[in-house]
Structure 1
């Protein structure tokens, strides 16, 4: 590894950690009341914007529809990097809850923030999955949106090919009759690969927020069709955006 790349790696992780520690007291403060948590979520966005700016990471967010501020959405994004959560914090507006795996709640300091502001699910526990469904639907009743990575994990050898989606996000969207919004994050697997080395690379961070898929009139019999449609939209865009890589 070149000296310049090593220096950049140190700088990126320094920014991530130091900025998080500086705003951590606000996470603790705003977790004390449910009505304050939207402010804690705002500081999560501050964290993402500050870090990406400090790391000189070029960003491009492409919205293919105009968001209705009064509408709840279920955002579904591909998952290829630990950078994906701050990427969505940077890209999406409004107040939304992440649904993530239970192991995130065990990470020192970050885990406190995640379990107090968002929803952690143990996919191996039927009770945890049930509680996640209930908490998610309660959040929509409170006019909040949800953000899922429906693959359920970062796949091995993560890249621009996804693995099959879990049902949860689509069942919730249908039961609550709220739109699914597919989100494509095409290059995070190149910026921060999940290879155990955690060496960041400078390149464009891009997010495509697709048009919503309406669920009004759908029933639970439509879960598979909705899931497949969402998968196809994201996967198609991943291949298009990574066409130079795909041709190798």
Structure 2
């Protein structure tokens, strides 16, 4: 995956990697500082507490690494309502930025995240993991997602199914999961455009972190009642079009 930015020279690349080390250090420190509250949530069996901490952690982390967040809300997202947030996925930074959504949520993410020391264990406890290589696991994850939504817990799902695009800001095709969940439960789906994460922390193997404004667009929630399982593809394409048009506009 390549960013459209000009490749940095050797000295600048060195500085960008130093910045990455600093960002990684701040990520670890802020994560550890929030751990006592997360442990309290475990003891009390009150998941929402940990999810709310995750929301505020995102703002603290990006402030400390000097990245300004610019969040644009195109519709009304009620804090007491339940939603499925669907965003483009070009960078591992997407996982860190999504907690700025207006309501706490559970991620539906790949099981490989659960293998990360400490953070992986916490992720697996409070979020929903999926092994996409196993049909039975995909079905179990789908059912867990439905149960969470029916329990008034919002979800965040990257509908591309991972970082798959080799030509950002152009997205890959969407998986059906979040759209089926929306139709089955009647929960509104919110498209989210992450315009700059692939510039800041590209998934290109160079391991650098760039200081840049981070623009997030939270689009108007979509009522799934106008779609059916027979028009599922139309639902997918409508959401993809909303996000892709915004990506194209913000990266033109």
| In 2: Cα distance, 1:229 partner to 1:20 partner | 36
| In 2: Cα distance, 1:135 partner to 1:211 partner | 25
Matched, 1:106 2:100: no
Instruction: Please name the residue that 1:17 is paired with.
Output: 28
SS in 2 for 1:152: coil
Measured after TM superposition, the shift of residue 81 of structure 1 is 0.6
Deviations 1:98-141 (A, max 9, x none): 10011011111111111111100111111111111111111111
Matched, 1:86 2:96: yes
Measured after TM superposition, the shift of residue 234 of structure 1 is 0.5
Q: For 2:42, which of 31, 42, 65 is the aligned residue?
A: 31
Measured after TM superposition, the shift of residue 95 of structure 1 is 2.1
Matched, 1:74 2:90: no
| In 1: Cα distance, 2:88 partner to 2:17 partner | 28
The question of whether the paired residues in 1 share the 8 Å contact of 2:82 and 2:152 is answered with yes
Structure 1 53/184 Cα, relative in aligned 2: closer, same or farther at 3 Å?
A: same
The question of whether the paired residues in 2 share the 8 Å contact of 1:181 and 1:213 is answered with yes
Instruction: Please name the residue that 2:186 is paired with.
Output: 177
Runs of 5+ in structure 2 lacking a partner? 1-10
Measured after TM superposition, the shift of residue 32 of structure 1 is 3.6
The question of whether the paired residues in 1 share the 8 Å contact of 2:107 and 2:128 is answered with yes
Superposed, 1:116-127 pairs within 5 Å as: 116-127=125-136
Matched, 1:44 2:49: no
What RMSD over aligned residues (CA atoms) do the two structures have, in Å? 1.5
Deviations 1:16-71 (A, max 9, x none): 1111122223323312444x111111221232111101111011000001112332
Q: Which runs of 4+ in 1 moved over 4 A?
A: none
Instruction: Please name the residue that 2:4 is paired with.
Output: none
Deviations 1:183-209 (A, max 9, x none): 000110000011223211011101001
TM-score for the superposition, normalised by structure 2:
0.90
The question of whether the paired residues in 2 share the 8 Å contact of 1:158 and 1:194 is answered with no
The question of whether the paired residues in 2 share the 8 Å contact of 1:75 and 1:148 is answered with yes
Instruction: Please name the residue that 2:143 is paired with.
Output: 134
| In 1: Cα distance, 2:17 partner to 2:168 partner | 23
Runs of 5+ in structure 1 lacking a partner? 244-248
The question of whether the paired residues in 1 share the 8 Å contact of 2:193 and 2:217 is answered with yes
Structure 1 152/199 Cα, relative in aligned 2: closer, same or farther at 3 Å?
A: same
Aligned residues between the structures: 241
| In 1: Cα distance, 2:222 partner to 2:139 partner | 25
Measured after TM superposition, the shift of residue 221 of structure 1 is 0.9
The one of the two structures with greater contact order (alpha-carbon pairs below 8 A, sep at least 6) is 2
Structure 1 223/201 Cα, relative in aligned 2: closer, same or farther at 3 Å?
A: same
Instruction: Please name the residue that 2:104 is paired with.
Output: 95
